[in-house]
Structure 1
Protein backbone atom coordinates (compact mmCIF):
# COMPACT_ATOMS: atom_id res chain seq x y z
CA UNK A 1 0.00 0.00 0.00
CA UNK A 2 1.26 3.45 -0.86
CA UNK A 3 1.67 6.10 1.81
CA UNK A 4 -0.66 9.04 1.15
CA UNK A 5 0.11 12.50 2.52
CA UNK A 6 -2.85 14.93 2.68
CA UNK A 7 -2.40 18.62 2.01
CA UNK A 8 -1.82 20.78 5.07
CA UNK A 9 -2.30 24.45 5.81
CA UNK A 10 -3.41 27.22 3.50
CA UNK A 11 -2.71 30.83 2.66
CA UNK A 12 1.09 30.55 2.91
CA UNK A 13 4.02 28.79 1.27
CA UNK A 14 4.42 25.21 2.46
CA UNK A 15 6.82 22.39 1.61
CA UNK A 16 6.32 18.66 1.99
CA UNK A 17 9.77 17.13 2.50
CA UNK A 18 10.67 13.82 0.85
CA UNK A 19 13.95 12.40 -0.33
CA UNK A 20 12.58 11.84 -3.83
CA UNK A 21 10.21 14.75 -4.43
CA UNK A 22 9.73 18.19 -2.93
CA UNK A 23 6.29 19.78 -3.30
CA UNK A 24 5.84 23.47 -2.52
CA UNK A 25 2.43 25.09 -2.20
CA UNK A 26 2.54 28.81 -2.95
CA UNK A 27 -0.89 29.76 -4.35
CA UNK A 28 -1.73 30.11 -7.17
CA UNK A 29 1.10 27.63 -7.85
CA UNK A 30 1.85 24.08 -6.77
CA UNK A 31 5.46 23.26 -7.64
CA UNK A 32 6.93 19.76 -7.81
CA UNK A 33 10.73 19.90 -7.64
CA UNK A 34 12.14 16.74 -9.22
CA UNK A 35 15.49 17.16 -7.46
CA UNK A 36 17.44 17.67 -10.69
CA UNK A 37 16.71 17.96 -14.38
CA UNK A 38 14.83 14.82 -15.46
CA UNK A 39 13.21 13.48 -18.58
CA UNK A 40 9.48 14.23 -18.55
CA UNK A 41 6.82 12.67 -20.75
CA UNK A 42 3.42 14.35 -20.62
CA UNK A 43 0.44 15.72 -22.45
CA UNK A 44 0.47 18.82 -20.24
CA UNK A 45 -0.65 22.06 -21.93
CA UNK A 46 2.77 23.69 -21.41
CA UNK A 47 5.73 21.82 -22.96
CA UNK A 48 4.07 18.47 -23.69
CA UNK A 49 5.75 15.39 -25.15
CA UNK A 50 9.28 14.25 -24.25
CA UNK A 51 11.05 17.11 -22.50
CA UNK A 52 13.79 17.85 -19.98
CA UNK A 53 12.73 19.78 -16.87
CA UNK A 54 13.56 20.28 -13.21
CA UNK A 55 10.00 21.20 -12.16
CA UNK A 56 6.38 20.35 -12.89
CA UNK A 57 3.96 23.17 -12.02
CA UNK A 58 0.20 23.28 -11.53
CA UNK A 59 -1.48 26.68 -11.82
CA UNK A 60 -4.81 27.21 -10.06
CA UNK A 61 -7.42 29.14 -12.05
CA UNK A 62 -11.03 30.05 -11.42
CA UNK A 63 -13.82 28.61 -13.53
CA UNK A 64 -14.72 32.19 -14.48
CA UNK A 65 -11.21 32.67 -15.93
CA UNK A 66 -11.65 29.85 -18.45
CA UNK A 67 -13.72 31.74 -20.99
CA UNK A 68 -14.27 30.28 -24.49
CA UNK A 69 -12.07 32.94 -26.10
CA UNK A 70 -9.11 32.41 -23.74
CA UNK A 71 -5.91 31.03 -25.27
CA UNK A 72 -5.31 28.90 -22.20
CA UNK A 73 -2.09 27.35 -23.47
CA UNK A 74 -0.58 30.71 -24.38
CA UNK A 75 -1.73 32.25 -21.11
CA UNK A 76 -0.21 29.46 -19.04
CA UNK A 77 3.07 29.71 -20.91
CA UNK A 78 3.21 33.45 -20.25
CA UNK A 79 2.42 32.95 -16.58
CA UNK A 80 5.18 30.35 -16.21
CA UNK A 81 7.68 32.55 -18.01
CA UNK A 82 6.73 35.43 -15.73
CA UNK A 83 7.83 33.48 -12.63
CA UNK A 84 10.96 32.05 -14.27
CA UNK A 85 9.63 28.58 -15.08
CA UNK A 86 9.08 28.89 -18.81
CA UNK A 87 11.34 25.90 -19.45
CA UNK A 88 9.43 23.60 -17.11
CA UNK A 89 6.25 21.55 -17.61
CA UNK A 90 2.94 23.14 -16.63
CA UNK A 91 -0.69 22.19 -16.01
CA UNK A 92 -3.83 23.97 -14.76
CA UNK A 93 -6.66 23.19 -12.35
CA UNK A 94 -9.65 24.97 -10.84
CA UNK A 95 -9.43 22.72 -7.76
CA UNK A 96 -8.07 24.59 -4.73
CA UNK A 97 -4.44 23.55 -4.45
CA UNK A 98 -4.67 22.89 -0.72
CA UNK A 99 -6.52 19.68 -1.64
CA UNK A 100 -3.51 18.13 -3.37
CA UNK A 101 -2.47 14.61 -2.44
CA UNK A 102 1.01 13.05 -2.37
CA UNK A 103 1.59 9.30 -2.21
CA UNK A 104 4.72 7.13 -2.24
CA UNK A 105 5.39 3.48 -3.08
CA UNK A 106 8.88 2.06 -3.50
CA UNK A 107 10.84 4.25 -5.93
CA UNK A 108 7.75 6.21 -6.97
CA UNK A 109 6.14 9.47 -5.77
CA UNK A 110 2.79 10.69 -7.10
CA UNK A 111 1.40 14.21 -6.75
CA UNK A 112 -2.27 14.62 -7.70
CA UNK A 113 -4.86 17.36 -7.76
CA UNK A 114 -8.36 15.96 -8.20
CA UNK A 115 -11.37 17.96 -9.38
CA UNK A 116 -14.37 16.19 -10.88
CA UNK A 117 -16.62 19.03 -12.02
CA UNK A 118 -16.44 17.86 -15.65
CA UNK A 119 -16.26 14.12 -15.06
CA UNK A 120 -16.88 11.84 -18.03
CA UNK A 121 -17.44 8.16 -18.80
CA UNK A 122 -14.84 6.90 -21.27
CA UNK A 123 -16.40 6.25 -24.67
CA UNK A 124 -19.65 8.04 -23.76
CA UNK A 125 -19.07 11.77 -23.48
CA UNK A 126 -21.87 13.96 -22.17
CA UNK A 127 -23.50 15.86 -25.03
CA UNK A 128 -24.67 18.57 -22.64
CA UNK A 129 -21.58 20.27 -21.30
CA UNK A 130 -21.20 19.97 -17.51
CA UNK A 131 -21.37 23.02 -15.30
CA UNK A 132 -17.99 24.28 -14.18
CA UNK A 133 -14.58 22.82 -14.90
CA UNK A 134 -12.58 20.05 -13.28
CA UNK A 135 -9.49 18.03 -13.98
CA UNK A 136 -7.18 15.43 -12.54
CA UNK A 137 -3.53 16.44 -12.74
CA UNK A 138 -0.90 13.81 -11.98
CA UNK A 139 2.86 14.33 -11.68
CA UNK A 140 4.76 11.08 -11.18
CA UNK A 141 8.44 10.79 -10.28
CA UNK A 142 10.17 7.44 -10.80
CA UNK A 143 13.66 7.16 -9.32
CA UNK A 144 14.63 4.33 -11.70
CA UNK A 145 16.12 5.23 -15.09
CA UNK A 146 13.70 4.28 -17.87
CA UNK A 147 13.85 3.82 -21.63
CA UNK A 148 11.45 5.72 -23.87
CA UNK A 149 9.25 2.66 -24.20
CA UNK A 150 9.15 2.14 -20.43
CA UNK A 151 8.13 5.78 -19.92
CA UNK A 152 5.25 5.30 -22.32
CA UNK A 153 4.25 2.11 -20.53
CA UNK A 154 4.50 3.89 -17.16
CA UNK A 155 2.19 6.63 -18.42
CA UNK A 156 -0.34 3.98 -19.44
CA UNK A 157 -0.19 2.47 -15.93
CA UNK A 158 -0.78 5.92 -14.43
CA UNK A 159 -3.88 6.32 -16.61
CA UNK A 160 -5.15 2.87 -15.63
CA UNK A 161 -4.64 3.52 -11.91
CA UNK A 162 -6.35 6.93 -12.19
CA UNK A 163 -9.33 5.33 -13.91
CA UNK A 164 -9.61 2.59 -11.29
CA UNK A 165 -9.53 5.21 -8.52
CA UNK A 166 -12.22 7.37 -10.12
CA UNK A 167 -14.45 4.34 -10.63
CA UNK A 168 -13.98 3.43 -6.96
CA UNK A 169 -15.02 6.95 -5.94
CA UNK A 170 -18.48 6.26 -7.37
CA UNK A 171 -19.27 9.27 -9.56
CA UNK A 172 -22.49 8.34 -11.38
CA UNK A 173 -23.35 10.20 -14.59
CA UNK A 174 -26.25 9.87 -17.04
CA UNK A 175 -23.72 8.12 -19.32
CA UNK A 176 -22.50 5.66 -16.64
CA UNK A 177 -19.86 5.50 -13.92
CA UNK A 178 -17.25 8.24 -14.36
CA UNK A 179 -13.74 7.14 -15.33
CA UNK A 180 -11.98 10.52 -15.45
CA UNK A 181 -12.54 14.08 -16.62
CA UNK A 182 -12.42 15.74 -20.01
CA UNK A 183 -9.18 17.58 -19.25
CA UNK A 184 -7.01 15.17 -17.24
CA UNK A 185 -3.23 15.61 -17.54
CA UNK A 186 -0.40 13.19 -16.71
CA UNK A 187 3.35 13.82 -16.49
CA UNK A 188 5.89 11.05 -15.85
CA UNK A 189 9.42 12.07 -14.80
CA UNK A 190 12.55 9.93 -14.45
CA UNK A 191 16.18 9.73 -15.44
CA UNK A 192 17.25 8.15 -18.71
CA UNK A 193 18.21 4.54 -18.11
CA UNK A 194 17.99 0.93 -19.05
CA UNK A 195 14.79 -0.17 -17.29
CA UNK A 196 12.75 -1.36 -20.25
CA UNK A 197 9.48 -2.49 -18.68
CA UNK A 198 6.96 -0.92 -16.29
CA UNK A 199 3.90 -3.12 -16.78
CA UNK A 200 1.48 -4.50 -14.22
CA UNK A 201 3.55 -7.67 -13.75
CA UNK A 202 6.68 -5.73 -12.72
CA UNK A 203 7.57 -4.38 -9.28
CA UNK A 204 7.88 -0.91 -10.81
CA UNK A 205 4.43 -1.11 -12.42
CA UNK A 206 2.98 -2.25 -9.10
CA UNK A 207 4.55 0.72 -7.31
CA UNK A 208 3.32 3.18 -9.95
CA UNK A 209 -0.20 1.79 -9.73
CA UNK A 210 -0.26 1.84 -5.93
CA UNK A 211 0.98 5.43 -5.58
CA UNK A 212 -1.31 6.83 -8.29
CA UNK A 213 -4.39 4.91 -7.14
CA UNK A 214 -3.96 6.02 -3.53
CA UNK A 215 -3.33 9.68 -4.35
CA UNK A 216 -6.19 9.98 -6.86
CA UNK A 217 -8.67 8.01 -4.73
CA UNK A 218 -7.92 10.17 -1.69
CA UNK A 219 -8.45 13.31 -3.76
CA UNK A 220 -11.59 11.98 -5.43
CA UNK A 221 -13.20 10.92 -2.16
CA UNK A 222 -12.47 14.36 -0.70
CA UNK A 223 -14.15 15.97 -3.71
CA UNK A 224 -17.21 13.71 -3.41
CA UNK A 225 -17.47 14.48 0.32
CA UNK A 226 -17.69 18.19 -0.53
CA UNK A 227 -19.78 18.13 -3.72
CA UNK A 228 -21.61 14.82 -3.86
CA UNK A 229 -21.50 12.13 -6.51
CA UNK A 230 -23.44 14.01 -9.22
CA UNK A 231 -21.09 16.60 -10.80
CA UNK A 232 -23.77 17.83 -13.17
CA UNK A 233 -25.60 19.34 -10.20
CA UNK A 234 -22.60 21.28 -8.91
CA UNK A 235 -22.99 25.02 -8.45
CA UNK A 236 -21.66 26.88 -11.53
CA UNK A 237 -18.30 28.51 -10.88
CA UNK A 238 -17.70 26.52 -7.71
CA UNK A 239 -17.28 23.01 -9.01
CA UNK A 240 -13.73 22.48 -7.83
CA UNK A 241 -13.15 25.02 -5.07
Structure 2
Protein backbone atom coordinates (compact mmCIF):
# COMPACT_ATOMS: atom_id res chain seq x y z
CA UNK A 1 0.00 0.00 0.00
CA UNK A 2 1.37 3.42 -0.98
CA UNK A 3 0.80 6.60 1.00
CA UNK A 4 -0.07 9.44 -1.39
CA UNK A 5 2.35 12.34 -1.50
CA UNK A 6 5.24 10.36 0.00
CA UNK A 7 7.52 7.49 -0.92
CA UNK A 8 6.24 5.30 1.91
CA UNK A 9 5.06 1.84 0.89
CA UNK A 10 3.57 -0.53 3.48
CA UNK A 11 3.47 -4.29 2.98
CA UNK A 12 1.62 -6.71 5.24
CA UNK A 13 3.37 -10.09 5.26
CA UNK A 14 2.46 -11.77 8.58
CA UNK A 15 4.13 -12.00 11.02
CA UNK A 16 5.76 -8.84 9.58
CA UNK A 17 4.56 -5.35 8.72
CA UNK A 18 7.15 -3.72 6.47
CA UNK A 19 7.47 0.02 5.87
CA UNK A 20 9.58 0.67 2.75
CA UNK A 21 10.99 4.20 2.94
CA UNK A 22 11.65 4.38 -0.81
CA UNK A 23 15.43 4.57 -0.42
CA UNK A 24 17.98 4.45 2.37
CA UNK A 25 17.13 7.19 4.88
CA UNK A 26 18.40 8.44 8.18
CA UNK A 27 16.35 6.89 11.00
CA UNK A 28 16.21 8.06 14.61
CA UNK A 29 14.49 5.70 17.01
CA UNK A 30 14.50 3.88 20.31
CA UNK A 31 13.38 0.67 18.62
CA UNK A 32 14.60 -2.63 20.08
CA UNK A 33 16.56 -3.46 16.91
CA UNK A 34 19.14 -0.86 15.78
CA UNK A 35 18.07 2.11 17.93
CA UNK A 36 19.62 5.59 17.82
CA UNK A 37 20.75 7.37 14.64
CA UNK A 38 20.96 4.80 11.84
CA UNK A 39 20.69 4.45 8.08
CA UNK A 40 18.01 2.06 6.79
CA UNK A 41 15.69 1.44 3.86
CA UNK A 42 12.99 -0.32 5.91
CA UNK A 43 11.29 -0.19 9.31
CA UNK A 44 9.75 -3.52 10.32
CA UNK A 45 7.20 -4.47 12.97
CA UNK A 46 7.18 -8.12 14.08
CA UNK A 47 3.93 -9.50 15.49
CA UNK A 48 4.30 -11.72 18.55
CA UNK A 49 1.82 -13.48 20.81
CA UNK A 50 1.61 -12.68 24.52
CA UNK A 51 2.54 -16.32 25.17
CA UNK A 52 5.79 -15.88 23.21
CA UNK A 53 7.03 -13.18 25.58
CA UNK A 54 8.14 -15.37 28.45
CA UNK A 55 10.06 -13.76 31.34
CA UNK A 56 13.30 -15.49 30.29
CA UNK A 57 13.11 -14.39 26.65
CA UNK A 58 15.88 -12.06 25.47
CA UNK A 59 13.49 -10.15 23.22
CA UNK A 60 16.12 -7.84 21.70
CA UNK A 61 18.40 -10.67 20.58
CA UNK A 62 15.42 -12.74 19.43
CA UNK A 63 14.16 -9.88 17.27
CA UNK A 64 17.64 -9.35 15.83
CA UNK A 65 17.82 -13.00 14.86
CA UNK A 66 14.37 -12.83 13.28
CA UNK A 67 15.36 -9.73 11.29
CA UNK A 68 18.53 -11.44 10.09
CA UNK A 69 16.62 -14.57 9.11
CA UNK A 70 14.55 -12.62 6.56
CA UNK A 71 17.46 -10.52 5.30
CA UNK A 72 16.70 -7.31 7.19
CA UNK A 73 19.44 -7.30 9.84
CA UNK A 74 20.51 -3.82 8.71
CA UNK A 75 17.06 -2.28 9.08
CA UNK A 76 15.17 -0.97 12.14
CA UNK A 77 12.80 -3.35 13.95
CA UNK A 78 10.00 -3.17 16.53
CA UNK A 79 7.49 -5.65 17.98
CA UNK A 80 3.77 -5.72 18.68
CA UNK A 81 1.24 -8.19 20.04
CA UNK A 82 -1.55 -6.33 18.23
CA UNK A 83 -2.91 -8.00 15.12
CA UNK A 84 -1.10 -6.43 12.17
CA UNK A 85 -4.32 -5.96 10.20
CA UNK A 86 -5.22 -3.31 12.78
CA UNK A 87 -2.43 -0.99 11.57
CA UNK A 88 -3.33 2.57 10.67
CA UNK A 89 -1.90 4.96 8.09
CA UNK A 90 -2.22 8.74 7.94
CA UNK A 91 -0.67 11.47 5.84
CA UNK A 92 -0.32 15.25 6.14
CA UNK A 93 1.78 17.33 3.75
CA UNK A 94 5.23 15.73 3.42
CA UNK A 95 4.65 13.33 6.32
CA UNK A 96 3.35 9.75 6.39
CA UNK A 97 2.67 7.81 9.60
CA UNK A 98 2.26 4.07 10.15
CA UNK A 99 1.01 3.05 13.59
CA UNK A 100 0.10 -0.14 15.40
CA UNK A 101 -1.84 0.57 18.57
CA UNK A 102 -2.33 -1.80 21.50
CA UNK A 103 -3.19 -0.40 24.91
CA UNK A 104 -3.21 -3.43 27.21
CA UNK A 105 0.05 -2.17 28.76
CA UNK A 106 -1.22 1.40 29.22
CA UNK A 107 0.37 3.79 31.72
CA UNK A 108 -0.03 7.38 32.85
CA UNK A 109 3.16 9.40 32.58
CA UNK A 110 4.75 10.08 35.98
CA UNK A 111 2.51 7.59 37.80
CA UNK A 112 3.39 4.04 36.78
CA UNK A 113 1.19 1.23 37.98
CA UNK A 114 2.83 -0.87 40.68
CA UNK A 115 0.60 -3.74 39.55
CA UNK A 116 0.65 -3.36 35.74
CA UNK A 117 -1.62 -4.93 33.16
CA UNK A 118 -1.74 -8.69 32.68
CA UNK A 119 -1.51 -8.27 28.89
CA UNK A 120 1.07 -6.77 26.60
CA UNK A 121 0.35 -3.95 24.24
CA UNK A 122 2.29 -1.07 22.78
CA UNK A 123 2.14 1.79 20.33
CA UNK A 124 4.62 1.53 17.47
CA UNK A 125 5.03 4.54 15.19
CA UNK A 126 7.03 4.64 11.97
CA UNK A 127 7.13 8.13 10.47
CA UNK A 128 8.53 9.24 7.13
CA UNK A 129 9.27 12.94 6.64
CA UNK A 130 10.03 13.91 3.05
CA UNK A 131 11.99 17.02 4.11
CA UNK A 132 15.72 16.83 4.78
CA UNK A 133 16.40 17.47 8.48
CA UNK A 134 19.37 18.29 10.63
CA UNK A 135 20.14 16.12 13.66
CA UNK A 136 18.59 18.71 15.96
CA UNK A 137 15.43 18.91 13.85
CA UNK A 138 15.10 15.12 13.93
CA UNK A 139 15.23 15.19 17.72
CA UNK A 140 12.67 17.99 17.82
CA UNK A 141 10.45 16.12 15.37
CA UNK A 142 10.62 13.02 17.57
CA UNK A 143 9.33 15.12 20.47
CA UNK A 144 6.38 16.26 18.33
CA UNK A 145 5.59 12.64 17.50
CA UNK A 146 5.52 11.84 21.23
CA UNK A 147 3.24 14.81 21.94
CA UNK A 148 0.81 13.80 19.20
CA UNK A 149 0.75 10.18 20.37
CA UNK A 150 0.05 11.31 23.93
CA UNK A 151 -2.75 13.65 22.87
CA UNK A 152 -4.36 10.84 20.88
CA UNK A 153 -4.18 8.35 23.76
CA UNK A 154 -5.67 10.90 26.16
CA UNK A 155 -8.50 11.49 23.70
CA UNK A 156 -9.17 7.74 23.57
CA UNK A 157 -9.98 7.83 27.30
CA UNK A 158 -8.22 4.78 28.79
CA UNK A 159 -8.94 4.99 32.53
CA UNK A 160 -6.34 3.57 34.96
CA UNK A 161 -6.12 3.57 38.76
CA UNK A 162 -3.37 6.18 38.33
CA UNK A 163 -5.41 8.44 36.04
CA UNK A 164 -6.05 8.68 32.32
CA UNK A 165 -3.48 6.81 30.20
CA UNK A 166 -0.99 8.81 28.16
CA UNK A 167 0.79 5.91 26.42
CA UNK A 168 2.06 2.42 27.20
CA UNK A 169 5.10 1.15 29.07
CA UNK A 170 6.76 -0.04 25.85
CA UNK A 171 5.96 2.53 23.15
CA UNK A 172 8.42 2.86 20.24
CA UNK A 173 8.94 5.66 17.72
CA UNK A 174 11.08 5.56 14.57
CA UNK A 175 11.42 8.71 12.48
CA UNK A 176 12.93 8.59 8.99
CA UNK A 177 14.05 11.39 6.68
CA UNK A 178 16.90 12.48 4.43
CA UNK A 179 19.80 14.51 5.75
CA UNK A 180 19.20 18.16 4.97
CA UNK A 181 19.13 21.75 6.08
CA UNK A 182 15.70 22.00 7.70
CA UNK A 183 16.68 23.03 11.23
CA UNK A 184 13.32 23.34 13.00
CA UNK A 185 10.29 21.07 13.32
CA UNK A 186 8.44 22.55 16.30
CA UNK A 187 4.78 23.32 16.80
CA UNK A 188 5.08 26.77 15.19
CA UNK A 189 6.33 25.30 11.91
CA UNK A 190 4.36 23.86 9.01
CA UNK A 191 6.42 20.68 9.29
CA UNK A 192 5.69 20.32 12.99
CA UNK A 193 1.99 20.79 12.28
CA UNK A 194 2.08 18.08 9.60
CA UNK A 195 3.95 15.65 11.87
CA UNK A 196 1.47 16.23 14.67
CA UNK A 197 -1.56 15.82 12.41
CA UNK A 198 -0.39 12.59 10.77
CA UNK A 199 0.63 10.95 14.05
CA UNK A 200 -2.48 12.07 15.93
CA UNK A 201 -4.80 10.80 13.19
CA UNK A 202 -3.12 7.39 12.92
CA UNK A 203 -2.78 6.77 16.67
CA UNK A 204 -6.27 7.99 17.54
CA UNK A 205 -7.82 5.75 14.88
CA UNK A 206 -5.89 2.78 16.24
CA UNK A 207 -6.66 3.63 19.86
CA UNK A 208 -10.39 3.99 19.24
CA UNK A 209 -10.42 0.63 17.46
CA UNK A 210 -8.70 -0.93 20.48
CA UNK A 211 -11.19 0.66 22.88
CA UNK A 212 -14.09 -0.63 20.79
CA UNK A 213 -12.78 -4.17 21.31
CA UNK A 214 -11.47 -4.02 24.88
CA UNK A 215 -13.13 -1.14 26.69
CA UNK A 216 -11.46 1.66 28.61
CA UNK A 217 -10.13 -0.24 31.65
CA UNK A 218 -7.21 -2.61 30.84
CA UNK A 219 -6.81 -5.81 32.84
CA UNK A 220 -4.58 -5.73 35.91
CA UNK A 221 -1.73 -8.09 36.93
CA UNK A 222 1.96 -7.96 36.12
CA UNK A 223 3.89 -8.94 33.00
CA UNK A 224 7.50 -8.06 32.41
CA UNK A 225 8.03 -5.36 29.77
CA UNK A 226 9.79 -6.59 26.63
CA UNK A 227 8.74 -4.06 24.03
CA UNK A 228 5.73 -5.82 22.52
Sort the TM-score into its range (normalised by shorter chain).
over 0.9
1:46 maps to 2:33: yes
The match for 2:154 is: 167
The match for 1:29 is 16
1:68 corresponds to 2:55? yes
Aligned 8 A contact 2:112 2:162 in 1: yes
Checking the alignment, whether the CA contact within 8 Å between 2:3 and 2:96 is kept in structure 1 is: no
Q: Which 4+ stretches in 1 moved above 3 angstroms?
A: 15-19
From 81, 95, 113, the counterpart of 1:108: 95
TM-score by length of structure 1 reads 0.90
List per-residue Cα deviations over 1:91-150 (Å, max 9, x = no partner): 000000000000000000000000000100000000002111000000000000000000
Aligned with 2:37: secondary structure?
strand
Tell me what 1:6 maps to: none
Query: Secondary structure in 2 aligned to 1:127?
Result: coil
Q: How many residues align?
A: 221
RMSD: 1.2
Q: Tell me, in whole angstroms, the C-alpha distance in 2 between the residues paired with 1:46 and 1:63.
A: 19
TM-score of the two chains, using structure 2 as the length reference? 0.95
Question: Does residue 80 of structure 1 match 2:67?
Answer: yes
**Residue 220 of structure 1 aligns to a residue in which SS?**
helix
- Partner Cα separation in structure 1 for residue 53 and residue 163 of structure 2: 27
Which one of the candidate residues 168, 180, 184 is aligned to 1:181? 168
Shift of the alpha carbon at 1:16? 4.1
Given that 2:115 and 2:220 are in contact with CA atoms closer than 8 Å, whether structure 1 keeps it comes out as no
Are the aligned partners of 2:43 and 2:126 in contact in 1 as well (CA < 8 Å)? yes
Aligned-residue offset at 1:163 = 0.1
Structure 2 counterpart of 1:134:
121
Matched, 1:121 2:111: no
* Per-residue Cα deviation, 1:173-216 (whole angstroms, up to 9, x for no partner): 00000000000000000000000000000000000000000000
Q: Give CA-to-partner distance per residue, 1:19-77, whole Å, 9 cap, x none.
A: 42100001000000000000000000000000000000000000000011000000000
Q: Secondary structure at the match of 1:133?
A: coil
**Match of 2:56, SS?**
coil
The separation in 2 between residues aligned to 1:140 and 1:181, in whole angstroms, is 18
SS at match of 1:231: coil
Is the aligned partner of 1:203 residue 2:190? yes
Distance, in Å, in 1 between the alignment partners of 2:48 and 2:2 is 22
Of 124, 140, 144, the match for 1:157: 144
Give the equivalent residue in structure 2 for 1:56. 43
